């Protein structure tokens, strides 16, 4: 609780108490009240009790220990790419991806003075990256902070008109700030993809379409990745996302994160996964869930 700026603490305390009384409805999110993840939780899971957590690891731990039934975590942004740390936290969490949600992102510049007084803007590095051209054009220096709405709370705490926050518009009302500029984004398509995490998979209903997320590490032999991908091509399974990442400071062992169309049990998907497993050291499925947006 003490990690949050003072203006956010009573709000966090009240939300935490309500979630503690009904953990089956609690949805953990990273950030202070008013953050994009808070908005995503309310929109993706109506009727939930959003539970603020200071760090991504805290949100995941809340689900692991039963404090919350689910968590909603940003995984990638259309402008700024992958969200840092998520590719490492997800595989180690033991949690299952049960859904996805796409949230259009727009920010407001908020503070206690006038826009002409602002010399620096605090926000999460993702938000600063998504609005870097706008900030540069205005001559405003970006200042990194752990989350967007928390930056708004911190600006309210500082009470310095030269320091503003870049945050979702609703955060201005929560923390008593004035919106100095609105609808800020470097591109109209600015959208963040969130995934919903739970301790156990949910039964799939309906005809789909479905998405399956997996991670794998190919064998350290020539053309291993090419051969591993061949099964998806020959079986007509669409791979909508493939990213490489390295863990443990090693520059030798590369792991891959992938999204594919379909679900285990589909003959084509099963054949493709069998071929992937043959050419990989290991394969782990992170979840199968309804597709929220056509790929």
Q: Is 192 a catalytic residue?
A: yes
Helix orientation angle between 56-64 and 86-93, rounded to the nearest 10 degrees = 10
pTM score, whole prediction? 0.91
78 with 13, same domain: the answer is: yes
11 with 90, same domain: the answer is: yes
The answer to whether residue 160 sits within a structural domain is yes
Question: Which residues, listed in sequence order, are joined to residue 181 by a DSSP beta bridge?
Answer: 109
Name the catalytic one among 67, 98, 163, 192: 192
**Domain end (from 157, 172, 198):** 198
26 with 100, same domain: the answer is: yes
HSE at residue 186, side-chain half, CA atoms within 13 A, is: 17
The answer to whether residue 1 sits within a structural domain is no
18 with 98, same domain: the answer is: yes
Domain assignment of residue 148, given as a range: 107-184
Name the catalytic one among 54, 56, 194, 256: 194
Q: Is 216 a catalytic residue?
A: no
- Which residues of the chain fall below pLDDT 50? none
| Contact of 109 with 181, CB cutoff 8 Å | yes
CATH code at position 174: 3.40.190.10
| Contact of 125 with 175, CB cutoff 8 Å | no
pLDDT given for residue 278 in this prediction = 93
E-assigned strands of 59-140? 70-77, 81-82, 96-104, 107-111, 120-123
Interval 244-286: pLDDT, tens: 887 666 666 678 999 999 999 999 999 999 999 999 999 999 9
The answer to whether residue 295 sits within a structural domain is no
Contacts of range 238-242, beta carbons closer than 8 Å, 24 or more positions apart: 238/262, 238/295, 240/211, 240/295
89 with 179, same domain: the answer is: no
90 with 121, same domain: the answer is: no
What's the total number of domains in the chain? 3
């Amino acid at each position: 609780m003490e990690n949050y700026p003072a203006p956010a603490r009573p709000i966090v305390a009240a939300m935490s108490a309500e979630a503690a009384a009904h953990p089956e409805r609690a949805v953990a999110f990273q950030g202070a009240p008013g953050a994009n993840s808070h908005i995503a939780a309310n929109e993706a899971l109506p009727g939930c009790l959003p539970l603020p957590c200071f760090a991504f690891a805290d949100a995941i731990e809340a689900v692991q220990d039963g404090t919350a039934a689910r968590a909603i975590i940003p995984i990638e942004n259309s402008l700024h790419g992958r969200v840092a740390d998520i590719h490492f936290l997800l595989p180690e969490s033991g949690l299952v991806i049960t859904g996805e949600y796409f949230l259009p992102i727009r920010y407001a510049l908020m503070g206690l003075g006038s826009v002409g007084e602002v010399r620096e803007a605090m926000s999460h590095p993702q938000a600063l990256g998504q609005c870097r051209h706008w900030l540069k054009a205005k001559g405003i220096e970006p200042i990194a902070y752990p989350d967007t709405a928390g930056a708004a709370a911190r600006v309210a705490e500082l009470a310095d008109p030269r320091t503003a926050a870049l945050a979702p518009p609703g955060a201005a009302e929560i923390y008593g700030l004035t919106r100095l500029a609105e609808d800020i984004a470097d591109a109209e398509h600015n959208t963040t993809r969130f995934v919903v995490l739970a301790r156990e998979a949910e039964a799939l209903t309906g005809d789909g379409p479905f998405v399956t997320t997996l991670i794998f590490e190919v064998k350290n032999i020539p053309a291993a990745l090419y051969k591993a991908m061949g099964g998806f091509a020959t079986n007509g399974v669409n791979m909508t996302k493939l990213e490489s990442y390295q863990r443990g400071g090693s520059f030798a062992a590369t792991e891959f994160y992938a999204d594919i169309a379909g679900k285990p049990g589909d003959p084509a998907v099963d054949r493709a996964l069998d071929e992937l497993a043959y050419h990989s050291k290991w394969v782990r499925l992170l979840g199968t869930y309804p597709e929220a947006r056509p790929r």
